[in-house]
Structure 1
Amino acid sequence: MLLAASAIALLPAMQARAQSGELVLYCSVGEEWCRVMSEAFSRETGINVLMTRASSGETYAKIKAEEGQPRGDVWWGGTGDPHLQAAQEGLTEEYRSPVLAELQDWAVRQAETSGFRTVGIYAGALGFGYNSELVDDPAPACWADLLDPRFADDVQVANPNSSGTSYTMLATMVQLMGEDEAFDYLTQLHNNISQYTQSGSAPIRAAATGETAIGIVFQHDAVAQTVQGAPIVTVAPCEGTGYEVGSMSIIAGGPNPDNARIWYDWALSPAAQELGASAASYQVPSNVNAATPPEAPRLEDVRLIDYDFATYGSSETRTRLLARWDAEIGSLPQ
């Protein structure tokens, strides 16, 4: 893929700033997209990428555990809430990329909310997908429909401690319903849950193979299964839903800070953001000059809530909600 003009202009400066040949990348999107990005960056800059893939919650916990002796340079991808918590806790460092001027408003707001310790790189709406060969009419169209007893032991969602996708669901329900009502809903939903997975996208892969009927995921992950030929129908819940601003952060005190900034600028370029589609990732990119994949769910067609990223990405709120989930939902018998 040809580099867009802005990326071409940035590359000589990027290469000139490099002081070593390595970048340690913590990646929180799908394995294939992590690999595509890492390989493209290495080809274009000559910097060797040492990549580790893990879900958002797992990566936050890893960075927190390494505080004071960080091993990673950049955390790329994953939902924005744990990135904001890391920023609040001083685990990531301020950086204002020259590419900021090219970004969507929601990506810039993410940067401003964090004191420029993180930035938005893509967006995607929460929802669910169902296997049309396993689900009879009436098809589920709303969050409330997932409580139907006919779906007993036939719904999967991730654990919000490990998965940013599932934490987005938890925070979405609290904002849609109120906190106590949201936990009542999740308690009822538990009766239909067959498994709380570690990865946020695992539930829809299970639905695609017929292991379960319904997977609660970001809508673009459901679309990806349909594109690959699975009988998955994507649903934007009728009551409204939350969304993610997938984010990127430079880890404070990482071993290769110059290369971290090189990655950061490159990953915000149109050409780098367009690589997602080649890895069957159909999020909406944050650079206004990057082409949105035609398969990507249109955010303007989804009833989105006014998701409060500052509150639900704060250390206090996120820690409290996860502790309550552990106490009231995670402790329930399966």
Structure 2
Amino acid sequence: MKKLKHALALALCASAMGAQAQTELTVYTALEADDLKKYAQRFNEDHPDIKINWVRDSTGIVTARLLAEKENPQADVVWALAGTSLLMLKNEDMLEPYAPEGLDQLSPKFRDRDEEPAWVGTNAWMGALCVNTIEAEKEGLPMPTSWEDLTKPVYKGHVVMPNPNSSGTGFLDVSAWLQMMGEDNAWNYMDGLHKNISRYTHSGSKPCKMAASGETAIGVSFAFRGARLKEQGAPLEMVFPKEGLGWEVEAAGIMKGTDKLEAAQTLVDWAISRKAMEMYNEGFAIVAMPGVAKPVKHFPANAEELIIDNDFAWAAENREAILAEWQRRYDGKSEAK
């Protein structure tokens, strides 16, 4: 009995020492809240010695927080934040350049162009409309097929969209319209769209959730959330406007000044591994490593053909001016924070 107690005591001591030796990384992210646990668990299957402490919010809020903390960074790693946000951090010299293991296996459009990149892309999310078929029929709304359709008077009060100042999804839409239509035409388009908007949310997934629950007929959102809700039984039709879709790279990078550099590099190595790519593909149709992605249910088979030729550098350089102009014109319909 004494030997058993001694063995148990040694095991508990070893466990406690292991827990003490575990490195903790503060990771800022805009990842969907219901996937935080999955991402950490999959990473810990290979690296149980590193614990992820998530700090999660919408893209715009996380980006603003990182910039505000420039002189006293609190994050060690950024993972699953918009590539345009990482470009802004790079331009502020806030990222530690690092060429992760497996970098050469990524598509060139999913990485910083420097030889030793400041950030690397992991997957992409794309815009979409979530249309509640029951509400649309009840209100006599035709199924939209284009962005232009949403400016028609029949949709007045039936459209919800994310605020681009707080939502990465909202910003990718606005940025895409500006690139597709040209600035004057795009702002004219948004003026017309604004007449039909009932509110702007501070979350990119919320308009789709509202459509799923019948709170609105049409939610301007993104494909990942719509596909997941549709699979759960929501009465949604996914619409991919024919003019083209805005999209954004989800990216990872290491914050300059972290005192846990080795662990941070380990996380970024894993974030672009094949195992991670297969995990992303469970919800996203487009991933950074060619040849990995398989079709995702409720996504269009030609997803990569629908997305625009996105100029991320232009979007990052002009982000503040775009957001200021959008806020000046349309913020009166934004929900309270």
* 1:104 aligned residue (107, 110, 116): 107
**Residues 229 and 87 from structure 1, CA distance in 2 versus in 1: closer, same or farther, beyond 3 angstroms?**
same
Aligned-pair distance for 1:139?
0.9
Q: 2-side partners of 1:153 and 1:304: how far apart?
A: 27
Match of 1:52 in 2: 55
- Does structure 2 conserve the Cα–Cα contact (< 8 Å) formed by 1:28 and 1:75? no
Q: 2-side partners of 1:27 and 1:127: how far apart?
A: 22
- Over the aligned positions, Cα root-mean-square deviation in angstroms equals 2.2
* CA offsets 1:144-163 (integer angstroms, 9 cap, x no match): 11112222222111111111
Select the structure with the greater relative contact order (CA < 8 A; seq sep ≥ 6).
1
Aligned residues: 310
Q: The residue matched to 1:263 in structure 2 has which SS?
A: helix
Match of 1:290 in 2: 292
- Does structure 2 conserve the Cα–Cα contact (< 8 Å) formed by 1:155 and 1:215? yes
Match of 1:305 in 2: 308
Match of 2:38 in 1: 36
Q: Does 1:266 align with 2:270?
A: yes
Q: Does 1:118 align with 2:119?
A: yes
* CA offsets 1:122-175 (integer angstroms, 9 cap, x no match): 023222121111114631000011112222222111111111111111111111
The one-letter code of the counterpart of 2:204 is: G
37-46 or 163-172, larger mean C-alpha shift = 37-46
Q: Larger C-alpha radius of gyration, 1 or 2?
A: 2
**Residues 42 and 185 from structure 1, CA distance in 2 versus in 1: closer, same or farther, beyond 3 angstroms?**
same
Aligned-pair distance for 1:299?
4.4
Match of 1:62 in 2: 65
The one-letter code of the counterpart of 2:123 is: Y
Q: TM-score, normalised by structure 2?
A: 0.85
Match of 1:193 in 2: 197
Q: 1-side partners of 2:160 and 2:270: how far apart?
A: 36
Identity of paired residues, percent? Answer: 32
39-48 or 70-79, larger mean C-alpha shift = 39-48
**Residues 220 and 150 from structure 1, CA distance in 2 versus in 1: closer, same or farther, beyond 3 angstroms?**
same
- Does structure 1 conserve the Cα–Cα contact (< 8 Å) formed by 2:285 and 2:296? no
Aligned-pair distance for 1:75?
1.1
Q: 2-side partners of 1:199 and 1:164: how far apart?
A: 8
Q: 1-side partners of 2:45 and 2:303: how far apart?
A: 36
**Residues 329 and 147 from structure 1, CA distance in 2 versus in 1: closer, same or farther, beyond 3 angstroms?**
same
Q: The residue matched to 2:102 in structure 1 has which SS?
A: helix
- Does structure 2 conserve the Cα–Cα contact (< 8 Å) formed by 1:204 and 1:221? yes
Q: Does 1:243 align with 2:247?
A: yes
* 1:154 aligned residue (149, 155, 158): 158
What residue ranges of structure 1 are gaps of 5+ in the alignment? 1-18
Q: The residue matched to 1:140 in structure 2 has which SS?
A: coil
How is 1:84-233 mapped onto 2 (pairs within 5 angstroms)?
A: 84-107=87-110, 110-112=111-113, 116-136=117-137, 138-233=142-237
How is 1:14-29 mapped onto 2 (pairs within 5 angstroms)?
A: 21-29=23-31
